[in-house]
Amino acid sequence: MPSASRPAKDFFRPLAVGAPQPLHEVPARPSRAIHFFDPSNQKMAAKIPAMVGSVDVLLGNLEDAVKADNKEAARQGLVDIAQATPELGGPDSKTQLWTRVNALDSPWALDDLTTLVTEIGDRLDVVMVPKVQGAEDIHYVDRLLAQLEAKAGLQRPILVHAILETARGVANVEEICGASPRMQGLSLGPADLAADRRMKTTRVGGGHPGYLVRQDPPVNDLGVSDHEAPRSTYQQDLWHYTIARMVDACAMHGIYPYYGPFGDITDVVACEDQFRNAFLLGCVGTWSLHPKQIAIANRVFSPSVEDVRHARRVKAAMGDGTGAVMLDGKMEDDASLKQCLVMVELAEQLAAIDPELKEQYDAIELEA
């Protein structure tokens, strides 16, 4: 949907003479795990070529977590890795190549974009822009990318992904999503967002034991509450509101929402829970900061065999897709069929790139 600042007739016009035609629809490419690496870290960088094919997205991170002294080495390291790994990135690759550039007000962002588009623009699928505050940030990147694409003679537009990590960014989430046909998706930035909002968590993503609701106290025969009695508490999700807003804004604009980082690398159980909450709420993927988080993300963001089996059964039972039927004691109708089709379509997309999942999903058809 065009943003208010550009008339509908101009929304899909290239922003520079010779730039590729913007896409009318963001391609639905699997991106369960966006795996972060620091291209200036030799040990990490050496592992990247072998990871191609086993993770949906490899992202060369140039922003936070890369030391200021290493910014240029990281940028050049990413160029070197892309040039030495031809199967990484580009429209037909099994593993997409993304980058997170430095913030637009930093001394590095301009050189990040200029170097990467010029040197490896044909391989770069998505540029993640941190600390996006409003549509004006996307408009700046949009025009600059168009100029650089034209200069580099690129045939395919590079897409843009915004991190939501300021209060103003959250307040402007809808206009950010609709600011350009390049917009591919949004990720949650829980660390910067917590700081900007003056939240009192020092964790990178995940829950907090203090954010809870408590069971009501028991009441005696005289109607007096016993506040000292033991009562259950239920931890709540600090990020529910923001993720729900992101999901709605992305769905409205036909782009994709993602959870972000889960900083407690050792707590794989809570990591899986947080990822699953995001999956259930509508996110299509998440970040992986450490190799051990890739398998968690791939598992969580792939529909289970049980869910796919159920979805296919409903699809078969619903015939032309209208009316109501009973299946296993439950009502299914036009609307629940649509829910099931979300599951079936995702399973088909993932099966196309993941042979193990394909085998599992194909086996369902044999049993049906």
Ligand X SMILES: CC(=O)SCCNC(=O)CCNC(=O)[C@H](O)C(C)(C)COP(=O)(O)OP(=O)(O)OC[C@H]1O[C@@H](n2cnc3c(N)ncnc32)[C@H](O)[C@@H]1OP(=O)(O)O
Residue closer to ligand CC(=O)C(=O)O (CB basis): 39 or 189: 189
Residue of 125, 142, 192, 354 interacting with Mg ion (CB under 5 A): 192
Binding residue (CB under 6 A) for ligand X from 261, 278, 350, 357: 261
Per partner kind, with CB cut-offs from 5 to 8 A, the member of ligand X, Mg ion, ligand CC(=O)C(=O)O, none near residue 65 is ligand X
Binding mask 170-199 for ligand CC(=O)C(=O)O (x = CB under 6 A): -------------------xxxx-------
- How many residues in the shown chain lie near ligand X by CB under 6 A? 16
**Residue 327 vs residues 134, 320, 331, 336, 361: alpha-carbon distances, Å:** 47, 16, 7, 12, 21
Contacts 24+ apart (CB under 8 A), 165-168: 165/130, 165/131, 165/189, 165/190, 165/191, 165/192, 165/193, 165/196, 166/131, 166/132, 166/133, 166/192, 166/193, 166/196, 167/193, 167/196, 167/197, 168/133, 168/134
291 touching ligand X, by CB under 6 A: yes
Contact flag: residue 195 with ligand X (CB under 6 A): no
| Polymer length in residues for the chain | 368
Quote the least distance from Cβ 51 to ligand X, whole Å: 7
Shortest CB 135 distance to ligand X, Å: 23
Q: Which stretch binds Mg ion (CB under 5 A): 67-75, 157-165, 280-288, 348-356?
A: 157-165
What are 358-361's contacts with CB under 8 Å, separation 24+? 360/305, 361/305, 361/308
- The residue sitting closest to Mg ion, measured at its beta carbon, is 192
Residues 79-118 as x/- pattern, contact with ligand CC(=O)C(=O)O by CB under 6 A: ----------------------------------------
259 binds ligand X (CB under 6 A): no
Determine the Cα angle at 199 with ends 103 and 210, to 5°: 140
Query: In this chain, which of 9, 24, 43, 227 binds ligand X, going by CB under 6 A?
Result: 43
- Neighbour count for residue 321 (Cβ, 10 Å): 11
Establish if 56 lies at the interface with Mg ion (CB under 5 A).
no
Beta carbons within 8 Å of 45's beta carbon, 6+ residues apart? 37, 38, 39, 77, 81
* Under rule CB under 6 A, residue 119 binds ligand CC(=O)C(=O)O: no
The interface partner of residue 3, options being ligand CC(=O)C(=O)O, ligand X, Mg ion, none and the CB cut-off 5 to 8 Å by kind, is none
User: Under the criterion CB under 6 A, does residue 260 sit at the interface with ligand CC(=O)C(=O)O?
Assistant: yes
Q: Which of 16, 44, 325, 327 binds ligand X (CB under 6 A)?
A: 44
With CB under 6 A as the contact rule, the residue among 97, 146, 289, 296 that binds ligand X is: 289
Q: Which does 73 bind (CB under 5 to 8 A by kind): ligand CC(=O)C(=O)O, Mg ion, ligand X, none?
A: none
Size of the site for ligand CC(=O)C(=O)O (CB under 6 A): 10
CB of 64 to Mg ion, least distance (A): 5
Our finding on whether 89 is near Mg ion (CB under 5 A) is no
Residues lying near ligand X in the complex (CB under 6 A) are found at 36-38, 43-44, 47, 61, 64-65, 191, 204, 261, 265, 289-291
Residues lying near ligand CC(=O)C(=O)O in the complex (CB under 6 A) are found at 64, 130, 163, 165, 189-192, 260-261
